[in-house]
Chain A
């Protein structure tokens, strides 16, 4: 009897429960068909490679091949016909006819006139349109297992490297060890040959990173590599989505590019000091970076440590909604020397004091596209202005307007086309030296 009563209660309760079930379910899930879903019990905890392999492999090789096609007006130089001033390279901007990311120009052939080493590297194509192998780059990286130590080297093959374009030279552009001594601090110490710490253009100096094809007219003063030691330290300010960083270096030479000084040896025995103080605002859809940097020390084309070089630089970067604004001001002063100067191009007799004031601003808009091979299209424009003078020679004022288009294909190919309009505003006759250049970069 007791059992029968219990069964009846159970049946009643179950029946009542079943009657209410739809409404109860609806009450728990207001729109059950829309808000819930099937739980097939497939949710896992994810995948992490076996211990030690979650990090990048210890040894990595990457790099890129940069193929180009370029044409410069006139004879590929900025030397005006009939200009008899000497040295010829003191009266013009010899870096104007850049054709690739390294700033190599179409030509530096002065027609037999005397030049004094204020020259870039040249691909030697003159005024002829020509295909180019700009750079074949190999980046080798070794992360020491279980230690915060990394070795990095960047080896580049630079075909057509000499003025006559008949040579291929390997260049060890960078080779350094980087040590991160503390887990809880953003401190990185590097020793070896590395990029300068001045300004911002060195950050995208390589053609597989640079938005456009050519460097600015001021890159010659800020994007060189040299031997030494550097320390980078950064403090995050989470409440303000900000960070402040300090980058300090002591090196054999300053931040000038290789063709203007001796980067791999110290001619004075006194290091050149350089540094940059930076501020970052990293909001989700707006990033602002500001920096002030400088160089102070002996000119490294001189053996007299009393002959100094000084560089001041201010930089600005803004990124918002696919727009990128990069701007930089560069101020250079070099003392006059009294002995011949030694650069990577040779030995030159005049060591004039030199001064430069200039700036550039580049605006780019990148539109990400996911359409098969086409990944991104970027249009960009750059304006730059450079006022420079050698002591006792005519000051030169030039500007340049650059426009270009970059197309990113797949994940490893970049095609860039660019037009450079060079203008001599004062101190030099106007000369046809505009450039059209194309670069196809394959990264591996």
Chain B
């Protein structure tokens, strides 16, 4: 007995195939024109001369990928190849910003196929759907440089591990990020709703990692005036003074560490770390970390910690199953500064209280 979702699948495949058939007359690669209606090759040979061309190509490749995974899974299902069907549909479900209707139809089928194939999903749990306005990363680089599976579906996995070290502060708060080795790292979408409070004459959170272009609201929760400034070029800024309940927004446009200080309170210290990659995270108090949504490939992993005088770098190969159990020690050789500067850069003796 065919389930109701399956009938929906028929409609979706039908509609997508109509579109793909129309497009293939102009755009499909030679192998596809001479062979079957499922293609394996990305990128599509669409000419790109303008930003608009690139946008069209991105969307076309995305739909092409959706169609192939959708229909390929169906063909495998029909052939009784449950594992292939499960793999393709699971890959489909991992695509960011997937049409909810497709998700609703395919997800139970993917589970059923996986159950019939036996075993658990090979990749991580699908990431939460991205905001509807988010356009997925260009598929070209990932598709041409990674494994066939990734090329087919932009499978994303997780990179996780545990940090140790960090001196007396421990490893907590370390910022860990990945950038593609030998390739272009997708530009991250700015994070939204990021807030650093000034509370009890402290910055909370003490360390915040954000992608470039993110706006951070500095909110005064103390009953006294606060100021936030940074001398960390090129992200230097100065909020001026603002009272309890007020906030100030700052957009961080360049990658790197940003030391946060208050011109009134000479003991206040915090950090924003700005990353230029979507693949980043922060270690928790125990040093544990996980970076989600990473396409398989070769990466340079970097770590910044406020207690380390230098950033740490190492190569990581991310396979189809991701990376688990990384154990890395960060240095703790940088002591906390004895005298924090005022906004002119002159050190202040904190014991004076002004």
Q: Are B209 and A18 in contact (CB under 8 A)?
A: no
Please name the residue on chain B nearest to A29 by beta carbon: B135
Give chain A's interface secondary structure class.
mixed
Chain A contacts for B213, CB-based, 8 A: 37
Q: Are B134 and A238 in contact (CB under 8 A)?
A: no
Q: Are B344 and A319 in contact (CB under 8 A)?
A: yes
Chain B contacts for A139, CB-based, 8 A: 338, 351
Chain B contacts for A287, CB-based, 8 A: 342-344
Q: Are A38 and B137 in contact (CB under 8 A)?
A: yes
B122 close to chain A: CB less than 8 A: no
Chain A contacts for B211, CB-based, 8 A: 37, 43
Q: Are A236 and B241 in contact (CB under 8 A)?
A: yes
Tell me, rounded to whole Å, the shortest Cβ–Cβ distance linking A320 to chain B: 8
Count of chain B residues near A, Cβ 8 A: 101
Q: Are A184 and B351 in contact (CB under 8 A)?
A: no
The interface bits of chain B over 169-203 (1 if a CB of A lies within 8 angstroms of the residue's CB, else 0) are 11011000000000000111111101010001010
A145 close to chain B: CB less than 8 A: no
Q: Are A43 and B19 in contact (CB under 8 A)?
A: no
Chain B contacts for A368, CB-based, 8 A: 233, 345
B205 close to chain A: CB less than 8 A: yes
B77 close to chain A: CB less than 8 A: no
Q: Are A48 and B206 in contact (CB under 8 A)?
A: yes
Q: Are A15 and B293 in contact (CB under 8 A)?
A: no
Q: Are B334 and A411 in contact (CB under 8 A)?
A: yes
Residue from the list A56, A188, A238, A443 in contact with B354, Cβ < 8 A: A188
A206 to B56, CA, bound (A): 64
Q: Are B133 and A40 in contact (CB under 8 A)?
A: no
A114 close to chain B: CB less than 8 A: no
Given contacts A11-B11, A282-B343, contact A42 B291 (CB under 8 A): yes
Tell me, rounded to whole Å, the shortest Cβ–Cβ distance linking A201 to chain B: 13
Q: Are A46 and B208 in contact (CB under 8 A)?
A: yes
Q: Are A209 and B136 in contact (CB under 8 A)?
A: no
Q: Are A238 and B292 in contact (CB under 8 A)?
A: no
Please name the residue on chain B nearest to A444 by beta carbon: B335
Chain A contacts for B282, CB-based, 8 A: 44, 46-47
Residue from the list A28, A195, A203, A208 in contact with B133, Cβ < 8 A: A28
B82 close to chain A: CB less than 8 A: no
Please name the residue on chain B nearest to A55 by beta carbon: B202
A31 to B338, CA, bound (A): 47
Tell me, rounded to whole Å, the shortest Cβ–Cβ distance linking B139 to chain A: 11
A245 to B353, CA, bound (A): 12
A166 close to chain B: CB less than 8 A: no
Q: Are B279 and A42 in contact (CB under 8 A)?
A: yes
Q: Are A238 and B242 in contact (CB under 8 A)?
A: yes
Given contacts A32-B135, A48-B206, contact A39 B188 (CB under 8 A): yes
B14 close to chain A: CB less than 8 A: yes
A54 to B270, CA, bound (A): 10
A243 to B343, CA, bound (A): 14
A161 to B59, CA, bound (A): 78
Interface residues of B in 291-316 (CB under 8 A from A): 291-294, 309
Count of chain A residues near B, Cβ 8 A: 77
Interface residues of B in 331-354 (CB under 8 A from A): 334-339, 342-347, 349-354
Q: Are B189 and A47 in contact (CB under 8 A)?
A: no
Segment of A19-27, A252-260, A337-345, A379-387 in the binding face: A19-27
Tell me, rounded to whole Å, the shortest Cβ–Cβ distance linking B276 to chain A: 10
Residue from the list B11, B190, B238, B292 in contact with A40, Cβ < 8 A: B292
B281 close to chain A: CB less than 8 A: yes
A127 close to chain B: CB less than 8 A: no
Residue from the list B11, B55, B335 in contact with A26, Cβ < 8 A: B55
B240 close to chain A: CB less than 8 A: yes
Chain B contacts for A18, CB-based, 8 A: 15-16, 19, 63
Residue from the list A21, A46, A47, A188 in contact with B353, Cβ < 8 A: A188
Given contacts A47-B207, A238-B243, contact A42 B280 (CB under 8 A): yes
Given contacts A21-B59, A33-B51, A44-B209, contact A11 B279 (CB under 8 A): no
Q: Are A238 and B19 in contact (CB under 8 A)?
A: no
Q: Are A25 and B59 in contact (CB under 8 A)?
A: yes
Segment of B24-32, B36-44, B109-117, B222-230 in the binding face: B222-230
Residue from the list A29, A45, A54 in contact with B202, Cβ < 8 A: A54
B210 close to chain A: CB less than 8 A: yes
B108 close to chain A: CB less than 8 A: no
Q: Are A62 and B345 in contact (CB under 8 A)?
A: no
B54 close to chain A: CB less than 8 A: yes
A48 to B186, CA, bound (A): 29
Q: Are B55 and A22 in contact (CB under 8 A)?
A: yes
Please name the residue on chain B nearest to A11 by beta carbon: B15
Interface residues of A in 299-334 (CB under 8 A from B): 319, 322, 324
A296 close to chain B: CB less than 8 A: no
Chain B contacts for A150, CB-based, 8 A: 351
Interface centre among A62, A188, A190, A282 (most CB of B within 10 A): A282
Residue from the list A14, A29, A204, A243 in contact with B12, Cβ < 8 A: A14
Please name the residue on chain B nearest to A179 by beta carbon: B353
Q: Are B292 and A33 in contact (CB under 8 A)?
A: no
Q: Are B133 and A366 in contact (CB under 8 A)?
A: no
A178 close to chain B: CB less than 8 A: yes
Segment of B124-132, B144-152, B317-325 in the binding face: B124-132
A sample of 5 more A-B contacts (CB under 8 A), given A55-B200, A186-B354, A319-B345, is A37-B278, A38-B136, A46-B282, A49-B169, A236-B225
Q: List 18 A-B contacts (CB under 8 A).
A: A10-B15, A14-B12, A18-B15, A25-B135, A29-B133, A33-B58, A37-B278, A39-B96, A41-B130, A42-B279, A46-B282, A49-B173, A184-B223, A185-B224, A190-B353, A236-B264, A319-B345, A444-B335
Residues of A within 8 A of B (CB): 7, 10-12, 14-15, 18-19, 21-22, 25-26, 28-29, 31-34, 36-50, 54-57, 62, 139, 141, 150, 152, 174, 178, 180, 183-186, 188, 190, 195, 203-204, 206, 208-209, 232, 234, 236, 238, 241, 243, 245, 282, 284, 287, 319, 322, 324, 366, 368, 410-412, 443-444
Give me the 4 closest cross-chain CB pairs, A-B, nearest first: A46-B205, A319-B344, A40-B293, A46-B208
